């Protein structure tokens, strides 16, 4: 059976709104996806009935403790971690990364080195840059291969040496949709004894993560990019869980993932996160009645989402071929990418294009998206960046057609 987005779309209230008597078209998924009703219900239900804290001898606290346990198990399944204890929650990816970078760099010394990339969102650059500065370590930044907006792997290899403590790298670009050959990076980094910290924020809604298969040291993602609420999720490999020394308040737990979690958790977001992962698995459950595990359902669903997203990419790229005045930054191919596209139109600023599309309820982002290294190398930083059109599996071919119709009108009247 081929994935039909119209069934999933019914689950998302936001997709059926009319603003100023017109339908809405969400191409802003890489900045934050829409959420299904089940996520809203889960958050509402938790806050409406069980709002509490951990460890109390009464029903709502028991419920809250059980919710946190379940959220860790679901996070474990989502990334295929060896144990629920490997999963840490926080406010968002950036906050988690700043926190973890301080912890991971605690024993770095003068002369140590860290590698970041020009493809990354700066949450995975500035955090390491500042950690390196604090410790007198040197930070190197891997250049882009401009032909396809991927990492320049030769440059990466040339920077790696026995002093490299850590490589921080994205799994997929939030601007161009390029998928990184992360296994190659992990293998090379581990060969010199360096740890690898992966930003999977843009990857997570499009492909199923498997940290054991990757054999990475750390991986972070954000639930609001995959149909959930605002919540950061980090995986810490078993060998680092107890050896790292997190900054924490003395009475807080000394064992397990709670060592890394400061203050009270966002329990309503944990409820929403569980529902978001269930939503992602739901499509597989509709296919037949096979008694599969949550991970197996996720795997089957993601195979369908990926195949469908490839058709969206193909459709988008075939439209683009008609325009000699549009530049696409990134892969022209639909296979090794997410359906996220960075474009510029000759003689028009990204701001003007985005504003025109916005007037027609076509939600697209414009700018640099904190991918400062990429925009700097492509000389776009001071020129307004790019227009980013991002599809999720709830987007349709018809929506892409509408986007290009509105773009055509805009270009004709200019
Ligand atoms: C690739 C990527 N990494 C990191 C982040 C930061 O995530 P958060 O908003 O959860 O801090 C974003 C946000 O847009 C992103 O797209």
- Residue 229 covered by a domain: yes
Answer whether 173 contacts ligand 1 (Cβ < 6 A).
Answer: no
Q: Give residue 414's pLDDT.
A: 75
17 and 134 both lie in a single domain: no
104 and 240 both lie in a single domain: yes
The enclosing domain of 336 has a CATH number of 3.90.1150.10
143 DSSP assignment:
P
pLDDT digits (tens, 9 = 90+) for 125-156: 999 999 999 999 999 999 999 999 999 999 99
For residue 370, the CA-to-ligand 1 centroid distance in Å is 8
For residue 374, the CA-to-ligand 1 centroid distance in Å is 15
Mean pLDDT on 358-363: 97
262 and 341 both lie in a single domain: no
122 and 211 both lie in a single domain: yes
10 and 137 both lie in a single domain: no
- Residue 282 covered by a domain: no
354 CB-near residues (< 8 Å, 6+ apart): 364, 365, 366, 387
20 and 60 both lie in a single domain: no
For residue 408, the CA-to-ligand 1 centroid distance in Å is 31
- Residue 396 covered by a domain: yes
For residue 120, the CA-to-ligand 1 centroid distance in Å is 10
Which pairs from 49-55 meet CB under 8 Å and 24+ separation?
51/267, 51/268, 52/267, 53/264, 54/265
pLDDT value at 113 more than 90: yes
Answer whether 205 contacts ligand 1 (Cβ < 6 A).
Answer: no
94 CA closest ligand 1 atom index: 11
Q: Give residue 150's pLDDT.
A: 94
CA–CA separation, 294 vs 292, rounded Å? Answer: 7
268 and 152 both lie in a single domain: yes
214 and 101 both lie in a single domain: yes
Decide: 215 and 196 in contact? Cβ < 8 Å: no
For residue 49, the CA-to-ligand 1 centroid distance in Å is 31
Answer whether 94 contacts ligand 1 (Cβ < 6 A).
Answer: yes
Q: Give residue 137's pLDDT.
A: 98
pLDDT digits (tens, 9 = 90+) for 44-63: 999 999 999 999 999 999 99
Q: Which residues pair with 26 in a beta bridge?
A: 363
The enclosing domain of 234 has a CATH number of 3.40.640.10
For residue 350, the CA-to-ligand 1 centroid distance in Å is 21
Answer whether 29 contacts ligand 1 (Cβ < 6 A).
Answer: no
pLDDT value at 296 more than 80: yes
- Percent of the chain beyond pLDDT 70? 100
Full DSSP string of 195-225: EEEEE-TTTTTTS---HHHHT-SEEEEEGGG
32 and 57 both lie in a single domain: no
For residue 122, the CA-to-ligand 1 centroid distance in Å is 9
- Which of 249, 276, 303 terminates a domain? The answer is 276
Q: Give residue 413's pLDDT.
A: 77
Using only C-alpha atoms, the chain has a radius of gyration, in whole angstroms, of 22
Q: Give residue 52's pLDDT.
A: 98
- Residue 317 covered by a domain: yes
For 387, phi and psi rounded to 5 degrees? -95, 130
324 and 351 both lie in a single domain: yes
CA–CA separation, 300 vs 277, rounded Å? Answer: 13
For residue 353, the SS3 value is: helix
- Residue 97 covered by a domain: yes
Query: Which pLDDT band holds residue 316 (cuts at 50, 70, 90)?
Result: very high
337 and 408 both lie in a single domain: yes
| Average per-residue pLDDT for the chain | 97
- Residue 199 covered by a domain: yes
Q: Give residue 389's pLDDT.
A: 98
List alpha helices for 50-170, DSSP H: 59-79, 93-104, 126-135, 153-159
CA–CA separation, 83 vs 57, rounded Å? Answer: 27
19 and 149 both lie in a single domain: no
- Residue 87 covered by a domain: yes
Q: Nearest-CA neighbor of 54 among 43, 63, 65, 46? A: 65
Q: Give residue 372's pLDDT.
A: 96
List, edge to edge, every strand of the sheet that includes 113-117: 87-90, 232-236, 218-222, 195-199, 164-170, 113-117, 138-142
- Percent of the chain beyond pLDDT 90? 97
pLDDT value at 254 more than 90: yes
pLDDT digits (tens, 9 = 90+) for 264-278: 999 999 999 999 999
* Domains of the chain: total: 2
Range of the domain at 26: 5-36+294-413
Answer whether 222 contacts ligand 1 (Cβ < 6 A).
Answer: yes
Answer whether 266 contacts ligand 1 (Cβ < 6 A).
Answer: no
pLDDT digits (tens, 9 = 90+) for 162-202: 999 999 999 999 999 999 999 999 999 999 999 999 999 99
Answer whether 101 contacts ligand 1 (Cβ < 6 A).
Answer: no
369 CA closest ligand 1 atom index: 14
- Residue 285 covered by a domain: no
Mean pLDDT on 230-236: 98
């Amino acid at each position: 059976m081929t994935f039909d987005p119209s069934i999933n779309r019914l689950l998302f209230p936001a997709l059926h709104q009319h603003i100023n008597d017109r339908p809405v078209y969400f191409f802003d998924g890489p900045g934050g996806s829409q959420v299904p009703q089940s996520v809203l219900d889960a958050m509402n239900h938790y806050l409406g009935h069980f709002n509490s804290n951990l460890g109390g001898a009464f029903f709502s606290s028991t419920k809250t403790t059980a919710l946190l346990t379940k959220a860790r198990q679901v996070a474990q399944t989502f990334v295929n971690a060896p144990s629920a204890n490997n999963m840490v929650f926080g406010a968002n990816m950036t906050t988690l990364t700043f926190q973890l970078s301080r912890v991971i760099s605690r024993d770095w010394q003068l002369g140590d080195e860290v590698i970041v990339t020009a493809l990354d969102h700066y949450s995975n650059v500035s955090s390491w840059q500042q950690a390196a500065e604090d410790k007198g370590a040197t930070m190197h930044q891997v250049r882009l291969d401009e032909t396809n907006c991927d990492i320049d792997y030769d440059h990466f290899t040339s920077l790696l040496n026995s002093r490299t403590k850590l490589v921080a790298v994205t799994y997929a670009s939030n601007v161009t949709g390029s998928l990184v050959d992360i296994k190659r990076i992990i293998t090379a980094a581990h060969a010199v004894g360096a740890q690898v910290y992966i930003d999977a924020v843009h990857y997570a809604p499009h492909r199923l993560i498997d940290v054991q298969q990757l054999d990475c040291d750390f991986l972070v993602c954000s639930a609001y990019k995959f149909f959930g609420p605002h919540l950061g999720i980090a995986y810490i490999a078993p060998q680092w869980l107890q050896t790292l020394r997190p900054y924490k308040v003395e009475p807080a737990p000394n064992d397990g993932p709670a060592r890394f979690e400061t203050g009270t958790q966002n329990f309503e977001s944990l409820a929403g996160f569980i529902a978001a992962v269930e939503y992602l698995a739901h499509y597989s459950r509709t296919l037949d009645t096979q008694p599969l595990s949550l991970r197996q359902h996720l795997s089957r669903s993601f195979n369908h989402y990926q195949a469908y997203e490839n058709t969206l990419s193909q459709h988008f790229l075939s439209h683009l071929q008609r325009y000699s005045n549009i530049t696409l930054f990134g892969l022209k191919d639909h296979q090794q990418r997410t359906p996220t596209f960075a474009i510029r139109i000759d003689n028009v600023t990204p701001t003007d294009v985005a504003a025109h599309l916005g007037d027609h309820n076509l939600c697209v982002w414009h700018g640099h998206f904190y991918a400062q290294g990429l925009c700097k190398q492509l000389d776009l930083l001071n020129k307004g960046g790019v227009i980013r059109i991002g599809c999720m599996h709830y987007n349709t071919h018809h929506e892409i057609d509408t986007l290009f119709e509105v773009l055509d009108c805009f270009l004709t009247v200019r």
